[in-house]
């Protein structure tokens, strides 16, 4: 009898839901294989739970899973793709990108149904430099404070803290966990107002590159359109030299094999965000992401841009 293939996941409630989706989808695809889930704690989970101020470095939510893959303790690793470094460890491959859940960000508040209704001088809890920098330009009258913890923990903190006007969370996590039933105000940010993290809303599913069986099975989960979108977004982030804690936002959209990519980056030396857009064939997703980054770097005096048509 063949052994079960082991799916590695973080321990958070959201990560468990995501890992169960992978397991159930694979088992429902008549693969003839069985799967089990192993839950691992990551340095990012420990940092978030302890409220430590010093970041443990890049890949804080993924490196323990990747190490377990390389040690052959697990066969598949499931990540929120926005947490996954743009450069994977040698020997690992991004075998599948899931169909994408809603990639928008959501305003969440006890008292204010929309971010535009918040009084001047109010405090917004936001743990992401990307969100803070974009919101600063929309509402320079806001003050910001740090918020950490998983999705449910952040909601409970907002519910319990009357000094906070609200916070911003990813729609995908709220939807996967069924948390829109809380007695809070929820309103969606359009992409025109707030660009999400590269890869937001998609799952990135890793395997060992040499494990042809696992890689082949995971292709059953792969969504081609989402794959092109996140390839463009991650190439944009990689070319800017950013990580998951960088003030970089990006959203690609694929329609009829054409890809539209919008990207934004905060330039500290200039004290402002730069946002641009590029259009091209979806099959050239990575080169479009690189071209958009090169254009922004050129405009901000950091590098020379290419000759793609940027709008």
- pTM for the model stands at 0.90
Q: Are strands 76-80 and 35-40 parallel, antiparallel or unpaired?
A: unpaired
pLDDT for residue 240 is more than 80: yes
pLDDT digits (tens, 9 = 90+) for 88-117: 999 999 999 999 999 999 999 999 999 999
- What pLDDT is recorded for position 269? 87
CATH of 223-311, one of 3.30.559.10, 3.40.50.720, 3.10.20.30, 3.30.160.40: 3.30.160.40
Supply the mean pLDDT for the chain. 90
Residues annotated catalytic, as ranges: 82-83, 130-131, 148, 154, 244
Provide CB contacts within 8 A for 114, sequence distance 6+: 107, 185, 187
Q: What tokens does 108 get?
A: 């969440």
pLDDT for residue 305 is more than 80: no
pLDDT digits (tens, 9 = 90+) for 163-186: 999 999 999 999 999 999 999 999
Q: What is the DSSP letter of 108?
A: E
Confidence category of residue 302, pLDDT binned at 50, 70, 90? low
How many whole angstroms separate alpha carbon 26 and alpha carbon 156? 34
| Average pLDDT for 247-252 | 97
Break the chain into its structural domains and give their ranges: 1-99+202-222, 105-188, 223-311
CATH of 1-99+202-222, one of 3.40.605.10, 3.40.190.10, 3.30.750.24, 3.40.50.1000: 3.40.190.10
Same fold, 1-99+202-222 and 105-188: yes
Please count the other Cβ atoms lying within 10 Å of the Cβ belonging to residue 269. Answer: 8
- What pLDDT is recorded for position 227? 98
CATH of 105-188, one of 3.90.226.10, 1.10.150.120, 3.40.190.10, 3.20.20.80: 3.40.190.10
Give 56 or 83, the one with higher predicted confidence.
Answer: 83
pLDDT for residue 154 is more than 60: yes
């Amino acid at each position: 009898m063949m052994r079960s293939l082991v799916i590695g996941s973080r321990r958070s409630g959201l990560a468990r839901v995501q890992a169960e989706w992978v397991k159930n989808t694979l088992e429902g695809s008549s693969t003839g294989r069985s799967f089990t889930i192993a839950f691992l704690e990551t340095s990012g989970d420990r940092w978030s739970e302890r409220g430590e101020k010093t970041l443990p470095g890049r890949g804080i939510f993924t490196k323990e899973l990747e190490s377990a893959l390389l040690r052959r303790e697990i066969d598949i690793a499931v990540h929120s793709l926005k947490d996954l470094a743009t450069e994977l460890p040698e020997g690992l491959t991004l075998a599948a990108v899931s169909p994408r859940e809603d990639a928008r960000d959501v305003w969440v508040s006890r008292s204010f149904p929309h971010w535009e209704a918040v009084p001047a001088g109010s405090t917004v809890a936001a743990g992401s430099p990307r969100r803070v920098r974009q919101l600063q330009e929309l509402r320079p009258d806001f003050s910001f404070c740090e918020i950490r913890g998983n999705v449910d923990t952040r909601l409970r903190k907002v519910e319990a803290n009357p000094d906070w006007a609200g916070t911003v969370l990813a729609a995908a996590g709220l939807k996967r966990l069924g948390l829109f039933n809380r007695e809070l105000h929820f309103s969606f940010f359009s992409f025109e107002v707030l660009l999400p993290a590269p890869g937001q809303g998609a799952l990135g599913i890793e395997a060992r590159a040499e494990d042809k069986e696992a890689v082949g099975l995971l292709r059953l989960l792969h969504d081609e359109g989402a794959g092109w979108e996140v390839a463009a977004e991650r190439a944009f982030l990689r070319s800017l030299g950013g990580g998951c804690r960088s003030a970089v936002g990006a959203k690609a959209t694929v329609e009829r094999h054409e890809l539209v990519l919008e990207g934004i980056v905060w330039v500290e030396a200039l004290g402002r965000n730069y946002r641009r857009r590029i259009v091209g064939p979806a099959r050239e997703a990575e080169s479009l992401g690189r071209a958009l980054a090169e254009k922004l770097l050129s405009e901000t005096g950091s590098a020379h841009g290419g000759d793609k048509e940027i709008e």
